[in-house]
Amino acid sequence: MAIFDNSAKKVPLGVYLIRKNLISEKDIDTALAYQKEHPEKRLGEIFHILNLCRDEDLLKALAERLGVKYVQLDPLIFEKFNCSQYISLDIIRQHKVVPFGIEEDRLKVAFADPEDTSVIKMVNLILLNKGLKLDRYLTFGSYIDKMIQEMDRKAGKAEVYDVYGQDTTQLVDNIIRSAMSKRTSDIHFEPMDNRMRIRFRIDGELIEVASIDKDKQQVIVGRLKAISNMHQEKQESQDGRIVSYPDYNIRVSSQRNIHGEKFVLRLLKKNANIKGLFDLGFPNDEAILNKCFNKRNCIALVAAPTGEGKTTTLYSVMKFLSKPTINITTIEDPVEIRVPGLNQVEVTPNETFADALRTILRQDPDIVLVGEIRDKETAEIAIQAGQTGHFVLSTIHTVDSIEAITRLKKLGVSAYDVGSVLATCIAQRLIRRICTNCAKEREFTPEEIEEFKTIGKRYNHEFNLEGKHTYEPVGCEKCNKTGFYERIAAIEILSVDDNLRDLIIEDKSASTIRKAAFESGYRPLVVDAFEKVLQGITTVAEVRNKLAY
């Protein structure tokens, strides 16, 4: 191999390859046009994907430019060399690195990006624990992808973690970090009759990602208890927290089943970017938002079952309302996202929501966010806060916005108090967004068109299907082969006007209130969900799967 010339790296890659007589200027234009459509791809990889020159020549030139060795990785390398003995399959998948040979104490490792210092440090640390040194090679990411696809095809099942190749600490850490990188909200460690199953909840769906040998179950359980500050000997249900990851709060729950102890880790990003309400799925109309939230002397509720994004919506409302002239205080259990400018209070084991709320009302707040109304005491104090000049925001577990009224009454709040202070109730459900990277455009089927007509007729809403099309989920690397990427909220807004307020105070039935709400413009979740299908955001099948209608 040629001696590395540092000046070569300063030359643009395209120019460097032209000087090597490997590509033409027209090839560069072709590659740049492709990169606009696929911005996640590196230019060197694109020359390979588009077959603009011989793979070996391209790899050799790229390696010389970076000062590393190169290898044309055989997709069947795993049949000749036990890759996972040295680096876990999870890391191979996530970071596109793969060991392919060893000479004495030097392990040959192929990198799709041999300049990624964080990955190099991680691999060096893994090898250091095994008494090995790193020999770095460049390869194409597509070679590694093909190897993984071959492995999956031949295995026909989820990845099996080789706990002999890494210690328990490293294994659990790799699973957690992998979950973080894949936008996972929950990790399930599930004991079964002959193995331990690992599943990630991504965009609301549980996906099996790994399987661990049954005889390693207890060491995994022990490690999870250790980092969660749980009692090792106790096998009854426990709650704990993992605080060793600076960017995340991780809540841990354990429960014994017939095969052992199951653990669920809830991953909460501490400093997540708070999206605007329009990005979450609210109507793109600031007048509607002001009508919902720019208030005093009242309560606004976000209603949905567990896991449907209520807390995320509350934070977005805070972002919408936050001003230097307004004192906003939150009461949460726990504080999930730290927001500059807010006074955030975390409920302690010796203090209830109601206790904290009583104190906060003496702190001169303009807006009070109560994480959840879950009992009569909290509900009554929140009502009192709304009646004494404050704007109170909270969440409640109900199936839709009108049922929130019934729920408050069942908690013991009088019909008069509910009617006098409730101003807005917003219900939501999270539905998956179609992955724009791989979605396939198609026309609506006759059955789907008929479904639009049925929903429109039932709820007195006209859907405009003229010139509209939908998309078929396909699946790619970006979306974990699901065809969907991230979620958006289907929204329904109940704005309590004078007529509805009178009906609530008179303690009328939910069906009477619902009928009056329809007459004043209220529309249920399913109408907004189908409008988002027309906007190309999601699909009829996804709405059908997530909403009962």
At 319-378, the pLDDT tens digits run 888 888 889 988 887 777 777 788 888 887 777 777 888 888 888 889 998 888 988 988
Q: What are the residues facing 328 on neighbouring strands?
A: 367
Res. 159: pLDDT tops 70:
no
pLDDT at 155: 53
Q: What is the CATH number of domain 77-145?
A: 3.30.300.160
Which residues, in sequence order, are CB contacts of 272 under 8 Å at separation 6+? 337
Q: Which two tokens mark 473?
A: 């989920």
Residue ranges of alpha helices (H) inside 156-261 are 168-181, 217-227
Amino acid identity, position 48: H
DSSP string across 321-347: H--TT--EEEEESS--S--TT-EEEE-
CA 469 to chain centre: 27
pTM of the model: 0.66
The larger pLDDT score, comparing residue 307 to residue 455, is at 455
pLDDT at 299: 94
Pairing assessment for the beta strands 159-160 and 97-103 based on DSSP bridges: unpaired
pLDDT at 186: 95
Q: Where are the domains of the chain?
A: 6-67, 77-145, 157-269, 277-546
Res. 116: pLDDT tops 70:
yes
Res. 228: pLDDT tops 70:
yes
Res. 176: pLDDT tops 90:
yes
Where residue 522 falls among pLDDT bands split at 50, 70, 90?
Answer: very high
Taking only the tens place, the pLDDT of each residue in 283-326 is 888 888 888 887 788 999 999 998 898 988 988 888 888 888 88
Handedness of CA 454, 458, 460, 461 (dihedral sign): negative
CA proximity to 177, closest of 93, 273, 85: 93
Residues 146 and 115 sit within 8 Å (Cβ to Cβ): no
Q: In angstroms, rounded to a whole number, what is the distance separating the alpha carbons of residues 176 and 119?
A: 16
Q: In angstroms, rounded to a whole number, what is the distance separating the alpha carbons of residues 385 and 365?
A: 10
Number of H helices, E strands in the chain: 23, 20
Which residues, in sequence order, are CB contacts of 388 under 8 Å at separation 6+? 297, 361
User: What DSSP character marks residue 413?
Assistant: -
The larger pLDDT score, comparing residue 527 to residue 167, is at 527
* Phi, psi of 42, deg, nearest 5: -80, 155
Q: Which two tokens mark 380?
A: 């009554």
The larger pLDDT score, comparing residue 29 to residue 451, is at 451
Where residue 10 falls among pLDDT bands split at 50, 70, 90?
Answer: low
Q: In angstroms, rounded to a whole number, what is the distance separating the alpha carbons of residues 252 and 254?
A: 7
Of all residues in the chain, the percent with pLDDT exceeding 70 is 95
Q: Please give the mean pLDDT across all residues of the chain.
A: 86
Among 29-33, 462-466, 490-494, name the one with the lowest average pLDDT. 29-33
Q: What is the CATH number of domain 157-269?
A: 3.30.450.90
Q: In angstroms, rounded to a whole number, what is the distance separating the alpha carbons of residues 512 and 504?
A: 10
* Span 158-182, average pLDDT: 72
Res. 462: pLDDT tops 90:
yes
Domains 157-269 and 277-546 alike in fold: no
Superfamily of domain 277-546: P-loop containing nucleotide triphosphate hydrolases (3.40.50.300)
pLDDT at 9: 56
Q: In angstroms, rounded to a whole number, what is the distance separating the alpha carbons of residues 443 and 43?
A: 35
Residues 444 and 469 sit within 8 Å (Cβ to Cβ): yes
Amino acid identity, position 304: A
pLDDT at 5: 45
Integer-rounded Cα Rg, in Å, for the chain is: 28
* Span 193-215, average pLDDT: 89
Q: Which two tokens mark 11?
A: 């030359």
